């Protein structure tokens, strides 16, 4: 009888061909510390499985492949009182007190998938890992998906998309429409002063004569116009860009950076639709302070180019390329 509440170990393994796992359930009174080879017949097979690797997964490093096997088996057999046994010793530390910030992005993503499960990681020598090792080396044969498989794949993809959207924190990057900007602009005294000055066109002859709140707009005063109560910015017959009130600028920057696509894409999109004094500097600061982007940024940037010292005499640098 399969008992979810009972103590069960799961033995996983990975190789270049596939991943496999074996779930065993305890039927003896031996202490769990000796699992799963405490006595003959004390642990019985409850479930096993395997699958082929995708072309991308076949290129994983060994430690990444072993973590992939753990994440995949937990998705299928996750339950309380679970012990994961692996013949790859680094996984014991990685699933123990190893912080997500101390591992590479791929391992971090795989470990995040296992955080919702409760289990204990234990090292098992390869000599006792024959079943999972066999399943990973000879995974189930591939076959063309039938109609039911395709329907289930669509349903699973839809469920995963819905769960992802529900888990997103969109409090700081909700859609900002014209009505929201107009409502914020009506409550902003600086913005209303700008609307009045642009509508009348009576700018002072010198920048320092303007109120401090309007001085940042003085150099672009000829490019500003008012449309439906909002100030717009246009330069050299380019796109008509909406001037954003100060209260919404941080929220707009967060919306532009929602997909973490990088500074160049943020600036390209902002230059098409938005404007405020110092906008590019604000967006650069928002990108520089993004912890997620800084964590996943390339760890080995290209070395900056430099010019070698010119030779003093002909062929004086012939055998000294390394000193350049």
CATH at residue 199: 1.10.340.70
User: What percentage of the chain has pLDDT greater than the value 90?
Assistant: 15
Going by pLDDT thresholds of 50, 70 and 90, the confidence category of residue 13 is: low
> Which tops the pLDDT comparison, 130 or 282?
282
**Are the C-beta atoms of 56 and 95 separated by less than 8 Å?**
no
- What does the angle CA 244 – CA 248 – CA 254 come to, to the nearest 5 degrees? 110
Q: Do 182 and 285 reside in the same domain of the chain?
A: yes
Does a structural domain hold residue 307?
no
CATH of the domain at 66: 3.30.420.10
Which ranges constitute the DSSP H helices of 245-290? 246-256, 263-273, 279-288
**Are the C-beta atoms of 94 and 63 separated by less than 8 Å?**
yes
Q: Do 204 and 103 reside in the same domain of the chain?
A: no
Q: Do 129 and 195 reside in the same domain of the chain?
A: no
Closest CA relative to residue 84, chosen from 120, 43, 135: 120
Host domain of residue 203? 178-296
**Are the C-beta atoms of 69 and 129 separated by less than 8 Å?**
no
Going by pLDDT thresholds of 50, 70 and 90, the confidence category of residue 218 is: very high
The number of distinct structural domains making up the chain is 2
**Are the C-beta atoms of 88 and 50 separated by less than 8 Å?**
no
Residue that is written with structure tokens 């996984």 in the block: 91
Q: Do 185 and 242 reside in the same domain of the chain?
A: yes
Does a structural domain hold residue 155?
no
Q: Which pLDDT score, from 0 to 100, does residue 191 have?
A: 93
Q: Which pLDDT score, from 0 to 100, does residue 224 have?
A: 92
Contacts of 175 (CB under 8 A, 6+ apart): 255
The span from the CA of 241 to the CA of 255, in Å, is: 16
Q: Which pLDDT score, from 0 to 100, does residue 131 have?
A: 67
Q: Which pLDDT score, from 0 to 100, does residue 298 have?
A: 65
- Is it the case that residue 81 has pLDDT exceeding 50? yes
Q: What is the pLDDT of residues 239-287, one digit of tens each?
A: 889 999 999 998 888 888 887 777 888 888 888 889 999 999 999 998 8
Average pLDDT in the chain = 76
- Positions of E strands within the chain: 8-14, 18-26, 43-52, 82-86, 119-123, 224-227, 230-233, 241-243, 274-275
Q: Which pLDDT score, from 0 to 100, does residue 36 have?
A: 58
Does a structural domain hold residue 322?
no
Q: Do 78 and 183 reside in the same domain of the chain?
A: no
Does a structural domain hold residue 250?
yes
Mean pLDDT on 126-132: 68
Q: Which pLDDT score, from 0 to 100, does residue 217 have?
A: 92
- Is it the case that residue 305 has pLDDT exceeding 50? yes
**Range in 49-58, 158-167, 286-295, 303-312 with the lowest mean pLDDT:** 158-167
Contacts of 53 (CB under 8 A, 6+ apart): 16, 17, 18, 19, 60, 65
Going by pLDDT thresholds of 50, 70 and 90, the confidence category of residue 103 is: confident
Q: Which pLDDT score, from 0 to 100, does residue 276 have?
A: 92
- What does the angle CA 102 – CA 107 – CA 110 come to, to the nearest 5 degrees? 130
Q: Which pLDDT score, from 0 to 100, does residue 35 have?
A: 55
Q: Which pLDDT score, from 0 to 100, does residue 237 have?
A: 75
Is 218 exposed, middle or buried (CB count within 10 Å of its CB: 0-12, 13-18, 19+)? middle
Going by pLDDT thresholds of 50, 70 and 90, the confidence category of residue 2 is: very low
Does a structural domain hold residue 227?
yes
Q: What is the pLDDT of residues 148-206, one digit of tens each?
A: 666 666 776 676 566 555 555 545 445 677 888 889 999 999 999 999 999 998 899 89
- Positions of E strands within 31-184: 43-52, 82-86, 119-123
> Which tops the pLDDT comparison, 60 or 150?
60
**Range in 40-49, 187-196, 282-291, 314-323 with the lowest mean pLDDT:** 314-323
Does a structural domain hold residue 2?
no
- Is it the case that residue 231 has pLDDT exceeding 80? yes
Does a structural domain hold residue 249?
yes
> Which tops the pLDDT comparison, 73 or 266?
266
Does a structural domain hold residue 281?
yes
The span from the CA of 53 to the CA of 60, in Å, is: 10
**Are the C-beta atoms of 48 and 135 separated by less than 8 Å?**
yes
**Are the C-beta atoms of 46 and 24 separated by less than 8 Å?**
yes
- Is it the case that residue 4 has pLDDT exceeding 50? no
Q: Do 43 and 105 reside in the same domain of the chain?
A: yes
Name the percent of the chain in helix, strand, coil, to the closest 5: 45, 15, 40
Residue that is written with structure tokens 């204990």 in the block: 120
Q: Do 16 and 108 reside in the same domain of the chain?
A: yes
Q: Do 122 and 198 reside in the same domain of the chain?
A: no
Mean pLDDT on 102-129: 77
């Amino acid at each position: 009888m399969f008992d979810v509440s009972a103590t069960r170990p799961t033995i996983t393994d990975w190789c270049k061909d596939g991943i496999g796992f074996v779930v065993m359930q305890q039927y003896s009174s031996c202490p769990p510390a000796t699992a799963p080879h405490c006595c003959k017949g004390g642990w019985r097979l409850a479930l096993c499985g395997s699958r082929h690797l995708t072309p991308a997964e076949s290129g994983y490093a060994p430690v990444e492949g072993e973590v992939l096997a753990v994440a995949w088996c937990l998705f299928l057999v996750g339950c309380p009182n679970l012990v994961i046994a692996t013949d790859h010793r680094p996984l014991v530390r990685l699933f123990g007190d190893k912080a997500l910030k101390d591992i590479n992005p791929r391992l971090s993503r795989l470990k995040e998938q296992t955080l919702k499960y409760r289990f204990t990681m234990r090292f098992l020598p390869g000599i006792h890992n024959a079943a999972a090792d066999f399943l990973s080396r000879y995974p189930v044969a591939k076959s063309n998906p039938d109609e039911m498989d395709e329907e289930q794949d669509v349903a699973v993809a839809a469920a995963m998309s819905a769960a992802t959207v529900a888990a997103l924190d969109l409090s700081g990057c909700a859609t900002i429409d014209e009505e929201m900007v107009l409502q914020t602009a009506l409550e902003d005294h600086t913005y209303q002063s700008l609307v009045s000055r642009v509508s009348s066109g009576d700018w002072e002859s010198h920048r320092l004569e303007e109120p401090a709140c309007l001085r940042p707009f003085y150099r672009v005063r000829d490019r500003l116009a008012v449309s439906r109560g909002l100030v717009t910015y246009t330069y050299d017959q380019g796109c008509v860009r909406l001037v954003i009130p100060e209260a919404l600028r941080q929220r707009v920057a967060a919306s532009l950076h929602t997909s973490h696509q990088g500074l160049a894409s943020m600036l390209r999109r902002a230059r098409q639709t938005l404007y405020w004094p110092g906008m590019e500097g604000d967006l650069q600061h928002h990108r520089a302070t993004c912890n997620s982007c800084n964590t996943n940024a390339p760890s080995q940037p290209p070395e900056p180019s430099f010019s070698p010292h010119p030779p003093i005499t002909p062929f004086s640098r012939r055998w000294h390329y390394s000193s350049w």
